[in-house]
Amino acid sequence: MNVLVTGSSGLVGSAVMELLHREGHHVVGFDQRKSPITDHLTVETGDLCDFPRLASIIQKYNIGAIVHSGGISHPHAGEASPYETVRTNILGTTTIFEAARLFHINKVVYLSSGAVYGNHSAGVTTVETKVHPENTYAVSKLTGEYLGEVYNRNYGMNVISLRLAFVYGPNRFMPDPIKSLLERAVNGLDIDDAKGADQQLEFIYVKDAALGVYKALQAEKCSSSIFNIGTGVNTKMNEVAAVIKNLYPNISIKIGPGDLGYDFIGAFDCSEAEKQLGFKANYRLEDGIAEYAKYLEENKKSKS
């Protein structure tokens, strides 16, 4: 299958590119910039809202499916530039769906976010949990889901939306509390942060996120079009710190009480993703952080 992956230089997009390539698919990236991460793969540059450019790429490579991971991918970044978030994440997503419709590409996997749920008190979050987006980024992601539903219903397409937990791992450029701690630990720096110990997030390793995308891409027509993709486990940052301390016992790690400004979202119920897509996360937090740390160590050596 010829698959177009938007946001191919990003965290999840680059991992999806690699996975699809390993699985024997002809994969084409589409991003505003090329990245050394995917230099060995085909990547075309362009803006998500540039329909003529997108159409020419779809025709050039005879694209049969699209993974739409492009856009502004962090709630804090979204609040810094709300107009650009709306333009990129809503108009850009509409451009992708419309191109798919006009070129008869039925299968589109759209990367949404757990941020659509907003703050809530439930201990477990299912796809039926009431959505309550609390920032521009979350609103833009939920709008993409609604658009996907419209294209499914009105045009017979097969858009699957994946609500991802907080993705961490190699090649993340956006703010990330695990990255913040781990990069300092790898460089032998003591950590003394004023707040954040009580922040609770559901972390998913990037390879598991990419696996969820791949499973959605491979799935036949499902009875649902929206799925949670996570681990089903919420973790406080003081627990993350303990995992990192175990890897780097010679450094000091202190994190004060309080949160980091992220929504509280109950742990994901991913049972429908397991039943309909065959997805189940493989990485425990300890395993993902250890692999991430190894990558950072090797990258540090290559730069020295």
Q: Identify each DSSP E strand in 209-294 by its residue range.
A: 226-229, 235-236, 253-255, 267-268
* pTM of the complete model: 0.95
Residues 6+ apart with CB under 8 A from 179: 168, 172
Q: Per-residue confidence at 302, pLDDT binned at 50, 70, 90?
A: low
Q: Is a pLDDT exceeding 90 seen at residue 289?
A: yes
Identify the burial level of 303 via C-beta atoms within 10 angstroms of its C-beta, where 0-12 means exposed, 13-18 middle and 19 or more buried: exposed
Provide the pairing of β-strand 42-45 with 200-201: unpaired
Residue 4 has pLDDT above 90, yes or no: yes
Q: Which residues pair with 205 in a beta bridge?
A: 168
Higher pLDDT, 111 or 173: 111
pLDDT for residue 74 is more than 70: no
Residue with tokens 């065959």: 278
pLDDT digits (tens, 9 = 90+) for 48-66: 999 999 999 999 999 999 9
Nearest to 114 by CA among 75, 172, 71: 75
Identify which of 253, 154, 236, 242 has the alpha carbon closest to the alpha carbon of residue 196: 236
Strand partners of residue 66: 4, 108
pLDDT digits (tens, 9 = 90+) for 166-225: 999 998 888 899 999 999 999 999 999 999 999 999 999 999 999 999 999 999 889 999
pLDDT in the model for residue 77: 64
Q: Which CATH superfamily is domain 2-165+204-231+264-282 in?
A: NAD(P)-binding Rossmann-like Domain (3.40.50.720)
Q: Give the start-to-end residue ranges of the domains of the chain.
A: 2-165+204-231+264-282
Q: How far apart are CA 229 and CA 166, in angstroms?
A: 10
Can you read off the two tokens belonging to residue 120? 């809530």
How far apart, in Å, are the Cα atoms of 276 and each of 31, 108, 233, 270? 30, 16, 20, 10
Mean of the pLDDT values across residues 106-114?
A: 96
pLDDT at 235 over 70: yes
Tokens of 64: 């049969």
| Averaged confidence pLDDT in the chain | 94
Distances (CA, A) of 199 to 30, 167, 211, 253: 34, 15, 26, 16
| 106 or 287, which is more confident | 287
Average confidence (pLDDT) over 274-301: 95
Which of 144 and 76 is assigned the larger pLDDT? Answer: 144
